Structure 1
Amino acid sequence: MKTSIVSICLLLSASSLFAKEYHVSPTGNDAANGDMATPFRTINRAAQLALPGDTVTVHQGTYREWINPLNGGESDARRILYRAAEGEKVEIKGSELVTGWKREKKNKQVWKLVLPNGFFGNYNPFNDRLYGDWLWSDKIHHTADVYLNDVSLYEAFSLDKVYQPDTLKTIRDPQGCTNVWYAEVDAEHTTIYANFGTADPNKEVTEVSVRPTCFYPTREGLNYLTIRGFHFSQAATQWAAPTAEQVGMVATHWCKGWIIEDNVIKNSRSNGITLGKERSSGHNLECNDKRLDGTLHYIEVIFNVLRKGWDKANVGSHIVRNNIISDCEQTGICGSMGGAFSEIYGNHIYNILAKQQFGGAEMAGIKLHGAIDTYIHHNRIHNSGNFGIWMDWMAQGARISSNLLYDNLAEDVFFEVDHGPYIVDNNIMLSSKSFAENTDGGALLHNIITGGIKPMDDQRYTPYHLNHSTQVKGFRTITEGDHRFYNNIFVGGTNKDMKYGMIAFDKSQWPIYAADNIFCNGAKPMTDKEQGWTEDAVNPNLRLEEVGEEVYLVSDVSLSELAGFKGKKIDAAQLGITKLSGLPFENQDGTPFVSDKDYFGVSRAANPVVGPFESLSGTTRIKVWPLEMK
């Protein structure tokens, strides 16, 4: 036994001894050795050599390339680490600088640039249509973008609209914007016309996107990569439907165990991070095969990926944490089935679908299909042109916890055609619309919910699964209900078209279980039900103050007054078994669920305070971002 232990230790020591660190610098040379003294010039050169246990350290500068790794790691202990050097800013861009703009005589704010098609290599986003299942627009959009000082212009759909642009009022530009571009592509040249307003593009930083991604392995199954500390931007990413290969600016490829952390991800045409599926199981089937409708196509895709090894041993289990993701026009984070068993936390996601030039059924701060046992917590998501968090199909075992959601145009949280169990707890939901669902078997616990609530029926057959597994147990339409609501704070509003509080569930087909909720300012319990305390005269007027990177929750009512409302500690025994799937409410590791921590990680008392905060002072102002965990 002693000999075996010594042998193992020697092997591990030898393994770490032979691990290499490659260095990359803008002053380097890809023909060099890649050590500190003679670094490589491109990250992709190092990515062709890195093996399990190796580190690729990238030094300050701008790298305009697509990183396409050759190898993955072996295990969590034998990763390949890609990192920005400590304290150094490393930008990885899907764009190229362009100069030589010529001013047009017809309109002095319009400039023209003619580029040879060879400038784009084998991919020209100005000739690539934005395309895919459930993309909605009556115009032809392209994957390209033009950037002036790191701000993308709007795409125009005729040359006339460059000379005489409409004033576009959007989430990103509420006062209006007339900076637009239009392109014409022939056999040899790409001609770009752009209205830069009063700016001279030759005197500013002007860039055009040329690459479909910044970090994406074309090979499947490259597991256990870590990507840390980079600034990714300006990729011409394609629309990523759940029935398609999903390639974002940073994208896994049907693999397991990536860690994507501490990055800044900005200005993607469609998606920031994708944890999605591969192409062979289906690629935009709704658009390309009218034999079946979209629901049946996706059901076929589910069985295709199961045959390709969709299970916890092979796919998912990613960690996405502490990233800043903004200005992506489809999602900040998305993934179809490849995000199962993952953990997504500490991310700041904002300005998604902010330009609002096209729409679709796949747009949100976070949009996941098949988020089985996925844990999404302690994220800040705001200013989305659609949903904040959208859990679509197969979110069995998912937990949405302690997120700060506000100023989203659609609901902060939407669960679509999911069969439980799933848990939504400790969230602060402050948009005008808070929660939508056409599901069964959910539990909402200790949330603040100030917006409208919208339950829906749905007659699509969707799968439910064996416990903590991707394996399909059965298919069923949604019988709306079988939900649990405990210890929430509901605040009413003024929109007469919305329902505030539990009254939204009056017509649920299956029972709703609720107790110890507070209903303020006109929010109501279900009709003729006692589901907590009704405080119609109390209007806390909850709102946020943003001070730099800090966010404070402000109330007209002393928050300490809420401490007088005590509920019961919630655990798996009280939540019971879901009616359809027949499963208990458990943590991702299979242990029984207990609601024992609040929004800040403070331990809950035996009779906890209603709402997300267990410990409240007499103040009317409480810091809710960045989180200071207890």
Structure 2
Amino acid sequence: MRSHRTANQGKAANPMPRRFGCAILLLAAVCGNDPARAADTAPALIPLTVEFSLDGKQYQAQPPTVPHAGKFWVRASWKGFQRPDDARQPSLALLIGTADFASADNGRQRRQGAPAYIQRPEVPYVARTEESVVFAVDLGPRKEGVLGRINKWDSAQGKFVDAPLPAIEALPGGVHLFTVQVYYRAVDGGETMGLGKELFAVTVENAPNEPETVIYVAPDGDDANPGTAEKPLATLRKALADAKPGTRVTLKAGTYREGDIAMTRGGDVGKPLVIEGEKAGQVFLKGSQVVTGWKLHAEGVWKIENWSVNSQQLFADGLPLQQIGVQNRWHRQKLWADHVCLPPVGKGLEDLQPGSFYYDATGKTLYCMLADKGDPNGRLMEASVKDCVLHGQGASHVTLRNLSFLHNNMTGNENRNGGLVAVGKSNWTIENCEFSYADFAGLGMTGENHIVRRCRIFNNGAVGVDINGSDAAHNWRRYQRPTQNILLEELVVTGNNYRKFYDQWHAGGMKCVPCNRGVTVRRCSVTDNYGAGIWFDGGLGDIVIEDNLVADNQTGIFYEIASPAEGDPFGALIRNNRVVNHPKQGIYISASSQAIVVNNTCFQNRWDIVLHGMPRQEFGGCKLTGNRVRDNIVCGKVADIILFMGQDASDNIVDGNFYITNDSKAAPRFGVASVKTYEDRVYTDLGKLFVAEKLEAHGLSGDPQWVAPAEYDFRLKSGSPAAGKGWQPKGDGSDVPARRPAK
């Protein structure tokens, strides 16, 4: 029988290296000679560091800004990795762009259903002894006739041959998405044994002296003006009507109350339509109207007559009042077990209480009672009146920057699709923006090739970020869609679902449903949302959730009724996150397949890691298969790990995790279920767990010796017995800061 050691008996077998670099993950089938792992043929995660350079000499962790028609280098390196004996000697590495570029040596093709342009590295096949690979990426023009590996069939020779690639101009200025992929194939050249990938964005400068059209807008402007800095327009709507691809619309400081702006055109490749605030934090676009002229109705109750909008939100000096009564379809629509989408508070005017409002649709009268029962005429009162602030419709190649979006009224019109901003068809970049106090979703997204980074998304009515991977042509249902290539990074997502929609329906920090494929969420702080922090539901694969702080939501990270499409390297890769203090599951893999849960630190969740959600009948019957849970640190309040092993569950591997035991937690707790309950069989001894269930052959228990867990600082002290387990800080400034929990 294999021994199961506690922390004072030595370190874990085959610990993962401490440093993961820029998060490209190579996947290789690694079984070795360990009989306990022999049945596990799933890919193992291999750490890789990825760096970028503008001269091929000095490298940095973050992708650079590249001069127009310039070059940059990508270096992927690893240490101590040994390929499995049954893998081919060489490894194949590719750099894939969504737009053609000069050094692409393989013409446009379809990969995972999306157009791709491919470059091999300077050394395309990496020998077993090598520990790095370099791509020299040329973004300049390409002449006609350059040979490329486009696999053109030559009937005379009876084989595929190289052929001329088309001439192209330099990659235009703007933000461009690239992906690194690395393959390992079997010795016979057939089966792909592993695949790693990383999505990243590179900013390319505009061509020198390229003319730029700038349209200025100001709250005190005039739409009859020419739109110059000295004579700005008054409305964003007029500016967008005048804008062409490549135009930059600059909004001067102030508040804009247009709303329901529908974009009829966007930008073009290399010529994005840019909408920016002149200064961050000083430009506010609102879908609300200032309400004045309140009349006293009764003691503490004030009213506005002839109010024709069923406003779902009313704000007093920026803070929302509680809505009273059944005021939209979500107050009436029932879910399972008689849960209501949005449980109403009170019924009518008689239920007004301090800090609330009520709309009488029959009498077209808006009532309010402030928290201090004071006169609202002395306050800034704002009522939501517009469905959205900005709707992208079919527009592509749009950049939003330095803008704050607030207030909308979508649920008042029986709708919930979209958000304060509804992102358009493709290639949107959203940077340094804020989305707050939407009546439902802060940011709504469809389409592909979008980047959202360095934004704050907070205090929205139901959910912060809403991503729908389907479309009207498929009735907004799940289908085998192409990859989306959506990147969400360095976001602060907090305080969402302030209206208290049912937290297990469509609520929390991020809700991505249905049909999402190829979405990356990394280096985000997702905290204090009433619902799941990060939730992918009814989707496909190639979902990456890494390097995030997910804390104090209802559930932490949720991957539900999902499975990878053909060509996806995995269902979801949930890696190197801190998942802390949730009253429900920390990480929940529900009725899904091929999720990889590795090197996460889970602390003080009710159940730290759960693989269950069975049985489920959606999509013809869901399975819980091929999931991997490895090298995590767990310390759950009720249980550390729960695994369903009943009908339609198979090939789920749990091994090498570190279970915290100390003065307040005497033993691990692992629950095995075969029905809907969580604990048909309970194990508090890892050795007995292995003998009975063939799980945790390399599991450990003990004190991980964290720096300051009460302050969410989960760095391991020197000499920790959990080295290589759990969250691995990079220490290069990219880690999401730890924070002291609110008292």
Which has the larger share of strand? 2
Instruction: Tell me by how many angstroms 1:3 deviates.
Output: 10
Q: 1:530 aligns with which of 689, 696, 709?
A: 696
- Give the counterpart letter for 2:303 in structure 1: K
CA change 1:612–1:35 in 2 (3 A) is same
SS in 1 for 2:239: helix
Post-superposition CA distance 1:586-617 (Å, at most 9, x none): xxxxxxxxxxxxxxxxxxxxxxx21112569x
Aligned to 1:179: 355
CA change 1:399–1:202 in 2 (3 A) is same
Aligned to 2:587: 435
Instruction: Tell me by how many angstroms 1:539 deviates.
Output: 8.8
Q: Which residues of 2 match residues 464-613 of structure 1 at below 5 A?
A: 477-493=621-637, 495=638, 499-501=639-641, 503-505=642-644, 507=646, 509-521=649-661, 522-524=667-669, 527-528=689-690, 529-535=695-701, 543=709, 545=711, 553-554=712-713, 559-560=716-717, 563-566=720-723, 609-613=724-728
Q: Is the 8 A contact 1:238 1:248 kept in 2?
A: no
Instruction: Tell me by how many angstroms 1:357 deviates.
Output: 5.4
Aligned to 1:230: 403
Q: Is the 8 A contact 1:523 1:536 kept in 2?
A: no
Q: Is the 8 A contact 2:420 2:441 kept in 1?
A: yes
Q: Tell me if 1:249 matches 2:420.
A: yes
Q: 2:386 aligns with which of 211, 215, 218?
A: 211
Aligned to 1:329: 461
Instruction: Tell me by how many angstroms 1:273 deviates.
Output: 0.4
- Give the counterpart letter for 1:250 in structure 2: V
- Give the counterpart letter for 1:227 in structure 2: L
Instruction: Tell me by how many angstroms 1:74 deviates.
Output: 1.0
Instruction: Tell me by how many angstroms 1:512 deviates.
Output: 2.2
- Give the counterpart letter for 1:399 in structure 2: V
Instruction: Tell me by how many angstroms 1:354 deviates.
Output: 2.4
Partner Cα separation in structure 2 for residue 3 and residue 532 of structure 1:
56
Post-superposition CA distance 1:139-191 (Å, at most 9, x none): xxxxx21100111111111897655546xxxxxxxxxxx411111134xx731
Instruction: Tell me by how many angstroms 1:543 deviates.
Output: 4.5
Aligned to 2:305: 114
Q: Which residues of 2 match residues 349-364 of structure 1 at below 5 A?
A: 349-356=493-500, 361-364=505-508
Q: Tell me if 1:125 matches 2:310.
A: yes
Post-superposition CA distance 1:32-61 (Å, at most 9, x none): 111112110011110111111110000001
Post-superposition CA distance 1:454-503 (Å, at most 9, x none): 322243353xxxxxxxxxxxxx632213111222111131x3xxx322x5
Q: Tell me if 1:262 matches 2:456.
A: no
Instruction: Tell me by how many angstroms 1:509 deviates.
Output: 2.2
Aligned to 1:280: none
Q: 1:147 aligns with which of 315, 318, 343?
A: 315
Q: Tell me if 1:372 matches 2:545.
A: no
Q: Is the 8 A contact 2:388 2:420 kept in 1?
A: yes
Q: Which residues of 2 match residues 35-184 of structure 1 at below 5 A?
A: 35-66=228-259, 67-75=261-269, 77-86=270-279, 89-105=282-298, 107=299, 109-117=300-308, 124-126=309-311, 144-157=312-325, 162-165=349-352, 178-184=354-360
Partner Cα separation in structure 1 for residue 288 and residue 433 of structure 2:
18
Post-superposition CA distance 1:209-265 (Å, at most 9, x none): 111101113xx4210101111111111133999xx8822101124x00101121111
Instruction: Tell me by how many angstroms 1:424 deviates.
Output: 0.3
Partner Cα separation in structure 1 for residue 227 and residue 368 of structure 2:
41
- Give the counterpart letter for 2:573 in structure 1: I
Q: Is the 8 A contact 1:49 1:70 kept in 2?
A: no
- Give the counterpart letter for 1:82 in structure 2: I
User: Identity of counterpart residues, as a percentage?
Assistant: 19
Instruction: Tell me by how many angstroms 1:18 deviates.
Output: 4.4
Aligned to 1:425: 575
Instruction: Tell me by how many angstroms 1:623 deviates.
Output: 7.8
Q: Is the 8 A contact 1:110 1:197 kept in 2?
A: no
Aligned to 1:385: 530
Instruction: Tell me by how many angstroms 1:505 deviates.
Output: 4.5
Partner Cα separation in structure 1 for residue 701 and residue 235 of structure 2:
62
Aligned to 1:30: 223
Greater shift, 447-456 or 532-541, is seen at: 532-541
SS in 2 for 1:412: strand
Partner Cα separation in structure 2 for residue 14 and residue 427 of structure 1:
40
CA change 1:240–1:319 in 2 (3 A) is farther
Greater shift, 398-407 or 349-358, is seen at: 349-358
Post-superposition CA distance 1:289-319 (Å, at most 9, x none): xxxxxxxxxxxxxxxxxxxxxxxxxx31111
SS in 2 for 1:44: helix
Q: Kindly name which structure, 1 or 2, has the bigger radius of gyration based on alpha carbons.
A: 2
SS in 2 for 1:112: strand
Partner Cα separation in structure 2 for residue 318 and residue 83 of structure 1:
17
TM-score of the aligned structures, taking structure 2 as reference length: 0.58
- Count how many residue pairs are aligned between Structure 1 and Structure 2: 470
Post-superposition CA distance 1:536-562 (Å, at most 9, x none): 5679697554xxxxxxx246xx83157
Post-superposition CA distance 1:357-387 (Å, at most 9, x none): 5566222211112221111111111122111
Post-superposition CA distance 1:303-338 (Å, at most 9, x none): xxxxxxxxxxxx311111111111212210112116
Q: Is the 8 A contact 2:557 2:587 kept in 1?
A: yes
- Give the counterpart letter for 2:456 in structure 1: I
Partner Cα separation in structure 1 for residue 598 and residue 168 of structure 2:
51
CA change 1:25–1:512 in 2 (3 A) is same
Q: Tell me if 1:317 matches 2:437.
A: no
Over aligned residue pairs, what C-alpha RMSD do you find? 3.4
Instruction: Tell me by how many angstroms 1:27 deviates.
Output: 1.6
Q: Tell me if 1:221 matches 2:221.
A: no
Q: Tell me if 1:193 matches 2:371.
A: no
Q: Is the 8 A contact 2:547 2:736 kept in 1?
A: no
Listed as ranges, the gaps of 5+ residues in structure 1 are 118-123, 127-143, 167-177, 277-314, 463-475, 546-552, 567-608, 617-621
Q: Is the 8 A contact 1:246 1:335 kept in 2?
A: no
Q: Tell me if 1:446 matches 2:619.
A: no
Q: 1:625 aligns with which of 711, 727, 737?
A: 737
Q: Is the 8 A contact 1:350 1:382 kept in 2?
A: yes
SS in 1 for 2:395: coil
